[in-house]
Structure 1
Amino acid sequence: MEKLLENHQFATHAIAASAAVSLGTALTYPLDTVKTITQVGSGPGKQLNPSQVVNRILHFSGNSGLYGGLGWLTIGRISGLGARFGVFEIVTAFYKDGREDNSLNVSEAYLAGMAAGAAETLMTSPFELLKVREQVAAASRAPNTAAVAETAHTPQVISRLLRTYTPDLRALNQTVGLLSVLNPKHPNMTAALQEYPWMMTGTGNPPSVLDVRRPFDVASLEGWRALWKNLRSGIVRDSLYGGIFFATWQFLHQAMLDWKAVGMNPPPSTNEEVGPLSPVATSLAAGFSGAIAAVASHSFDTARTRAQCIVLPKYIAKERMFLRWKRPGKIFERWTGIHPTDRNLLSRGMWLRSARSAVASSVIVGSYFMAVDFLVPR
């Protein structure tokens, strides 16, 4: 009977957590979409403001464009936050082992949060890449119908790599015309050249990110490893975010417990004797912690978001591996996955991400505790 009750309570907590994550993600997703387009669409001489981004999305995709990729992010955040809080509880259990007051220091919370953030990155990376590309597609121009009609015949290799991709034959034929000085020994040189993947666009470049945003398209053209693209920036970002989030939350939590213990007679000897905090106070502490952590880790979020919008075919990745291609930039940039051309763009969308993280953290934590208080009998 006790095991059945424990399983019931575990399922109740899991349902409450999933519902809280879904609610917080849905409420703040438009901010995340605007943040992503601001990071990707900005350049050294061009900086998009939120109103320009919103107008562009509404023009190309309508209101639904603000929620492009919501399903991918929801799935990723449910699994990612589960990994984050699960690893944090496991690590902190070792710190608390043997302590009478079951307390946790801020430094210990920071180290446990860093480990939890790294675990979260491994879980959410594939869903985050697909989410980012759906958001970029929502703010980009749809293909011209005339160009699509002109590209009815798709070469065999191209159709195998990307089933839904329709190359621009006008650009392909123009490129082939530039190569007309070669000795035509092949009976159909134009069709033969078009079979090569690097001729897909006729410019020597891979297809646009708009054509490579589904899981099987990414796997076919870029390989399954591309789903964890620029993992270094993700690990640094989420480790830094998790460490600062849990350290700040632990500091505020302990401060609120000490404030609540003032005036109690007799004075409590442990935190358990003080009693639980209200869901409102806990959610506000989580929101403030999320805002601070988002600001501190935003540079690595920008670097990773911009890297996820770069289509890198498998054959180029293989060439880089065989040629021992060296990452550009300084040592710190190479180790953290920051491209040197993004140095002046790392702060773009910072306050949008901070606001989204604050609201999402507050809603997720507050709604979770309120749902647990309502569903779990005391």
Structure 2
Amino acid sequence: MEDLSKNQIFALHGIVGAGSIALATAFTYPLDTIKLLTQVGSSAGKELNANQVVLRVLSVSGNKGLFSGFGWLAFGRVFGVGARFGVYEILTAYCKDGRGDNYVTMSEALLAGMVAGATETFISSPFELIKLRMQVAAASYVPSSNFALEEGARKPLVARLLNGCYPDKRSLNQYVGLMSTLTTKNTNITGDLLEYPWAMTGSGRPPSVCNVRRPSDIISLEGWNALWRGLRSGIVRDSVFGGVFFSSWQFLHQIMLDWKAVGMNPQPRLNEEIPPLSPLAVTLAAGFSGSVAAAASHGFDTSRSRSQCTVLPKYVSMERRLLKWKRPGTKFQRFTGIHPSDRNILFRGLGLRMARSGVASFMIVGSYLFAVDHLASSLT
């Protein structure tokens, strides 16, 4: 019976935690959409503001466009954030083992948070990629193709890789017109061009990110590795976020405990002798820590978002491997996954991300503590 009770308590905490993460994600998702479109839509000479992004999304997709891809992010964050907190608790429990005081130093919280953040990256990357492309599609006009397939003709390569996607007929006709002046025995130049990977869209460019947003399309055109695109910048981003978040939260928690112990007589020797902090104080500290961590890691978040917004077909990846293509930029940029052309726009959308992370952290911790407290009191 005791084991059954422990399992029920563990399941209760898991369900409450998942619900808290989903609630916070839903509440802050419009901010995430605006932040992301500001990051990927800006350039060195053009900066989008929040009003422009909102008007664009509303004109293309309506109100539902602000929540495009929400299900994917909510599902990924339930597992990703759950893994972050779970790994952190395991590592800090190892650090506290054998100590008389239940205390974690800031350096230990920093290192444990960095490992926990890196773990979150591997779990949530595929969900973030799909979510990002659905958000971009919600703000993009996708013109319908006027490509007509002859009866009995084989579907072009791009239509076989991406269901419902057809070549750009206008650009294709220009290519065919230029090549028609050449002497050739081939009577089907158009068909051969469309079977050539670099010309399968008819324009010579990769398919639009709006056409490559479903998991099956991503895997078909870009391969399984594309689900973890931007992994370098993602690991750095989440490691910095996790380390700063947990270390600053631990720092604020200790300050509040010390402040509460000032008027006690006799002075407590251990943290356990100090009355527990109010849930509101703990929640506010978590929200502030989330905003600080978002500010510290925002540059890597921008780099990751812009990387995931790029369609890189398998044939281009194969060509780069054969040619031993090297990443551009300095050693630091190559290590962290930052593209040199993005260095002037790394902090676009900083305020939006700080607000989103702060509110989300506040809601996750606050709703979790509130729900656990009420459920525990109802069970006793």
Q: Give the aligned partner of residue 371 of structure 2.
A: 371
The answer for the alignment partner of 2:328 in structure 1 is 328
Q: Quote the residue 2:60 is aligned against.
A: 60
Three-state SS of the structure 2 residue aligned to 1:194 is: helix
1:224 corresponds to:
224
Q: How far 1:343 sits from its partner (Å)?
A: 0.8
Q: 2-side partners of 1:35 and 1:271: how far apart?
A: 40
The alpha carbon displacement at 1:225 in A equals: 0.3
Task: Give the partner amino acid of 1:371.
Answer: A
Counterparts of residues 114-263 of structure 1 (less than 5 Å): 114-144=114-144, 148-152=145-149, 155-263=155-263
Distance of 1:218 and 1:166 partners within structure 2: 16
Contact 1:232–1:335 (8 Å) recurs in 2: yes
Distance across 2 between alignment mates of 1:149 and 1:364: 48
Deviation string 1:2-44 (CA, Å, 9 cap, x unpaired) is 1100110011101110110011001111110000010011111
- Which amino acid counterpart does residue 164 of structure 1 have in structure 2? G
Q: Give RMSD over aligned pairs.
A: 1.4
1:345-356 paired onto structure 2 within 5 Å? 345-356=345-356
Aligned to 2:296: 296
TM-fit CA distance, 1:151 = 4.0
**1:314 matched to which residue of 2?**
314
Q: Deviations over 1:239-289 (max 9, x none)?
A: 000000000000011111122223233333322222332221111000000
Q: Does 1:272 align with 2:277?
A: no
Shift of 1:301: 0.4
Kindly provide the amino acid, as one letter, of the partner of residue 214 in structure 2.
Answer: R
Q: Which has the higher mean CA deviation after the structures are superposed, 260-269 or 60-69? A: 260-269
The one-letter code matched in structure 1 to 2:210 is L
**Displacement of 1:192 after TM fit?**
1.7
Q: Is the 8 A contact 2:110 2:242 kept in 1?
A: yes
Q: Partner residue of 1:3?
A: 3
Q: CA–CA distance in 1 between the matches of 2:74 and 2:260?
A: 36
State the distance in 2 between where 1:141 and 1:29 align. 22
Which segment is superposed worse, 105-114 or 91-100?
91-100
Q: CA deviation at 1:149?
A: 4.2
2:42 match: 42
Instruction: Provide the C-alpha distance between the structure 2 equivalents of 1:313 and 1:220, rounded to a whole number of angstroms.
Output: 9
Deviations 1:121-177 (CA, angstroms, capped at 9, x unpaired)? 001100011111111111111324xxx344456734222211121222222122122
2:193–2:200 CA contact under 8 A, matched in 1: no
- State the distance in 1 between where 2:131 and 2:312 align: 18
Encode CA deviations 1:278-336: one digit per residue, 9 max, x unaligned.
22111100000000000010000000101111000001101101111010011110111
Contact 1:152–1:166 under 8 Å retained in 2: no
- Tell me the amino acid that sits aligned with residue 231 of structure 2: L
Distance 1:3 1:265 in 2: 40
Deviations along 1:314-363, whole A, 9 cap, x unmatched?
Answer: 01101101111010011110111000000100010001000100000001
Find the aligned partners of 1:359 and 1:196 in 2 and give their Cα distance.
49
Greater mean alpha carbon deviation, residues 124-133 or residues 163-172: 163-172
Amino acid paired to 1:337: G
Matches within 5 A, 1:88-103: 88-103=88-103
TM-score (norm 2): 0.96
TM-score, normalising length: structure 1? 0.96
Residue deviations 1:221-248 (CA, integer Å, cap 9, x gap): 0001001001000000000000000000
AA in 2 matched with 1:126: P
Structure 2, unpaired ranges of 5+: none
Amino acid at match of 1:335: F
Contact 1:283–1:362 under 8 Å retained in 2: yes
> What is the distance in 2 between the residues matched to 1:328 and 1:151?
41
Q: Does the residue aligned with 1:344 lie in a helix, a strand or coil?
A: coil
Work out whether residues 34 and 50 of structure 1, in 8 Å CA contact, stay in contact via their aligned partners in 2: yes
- May I ask how many residue pairs the two structures share in their alignment? 375
- Aligned partner of residue 288 in structure 1, secondary structure: helix
Correspondence for 1:25: 25
**Contact 1:117-1:239 at 8 Å conserved across structures:** yes
- For the 8 Å contact 1:172–1:200, the answer to whether it is kept is no
The answer as to whether partners of 1:151 and 1:168 remain within 8 angstroms in 2 is no
Tell me which amino acid in the other structure corresponds to 1:189: I
**Amino acid corresponding to residue 343 of structure 2 in structure 1:** R
| Cα separation, 2, equivalents of 1:183 and 1:78 | 61
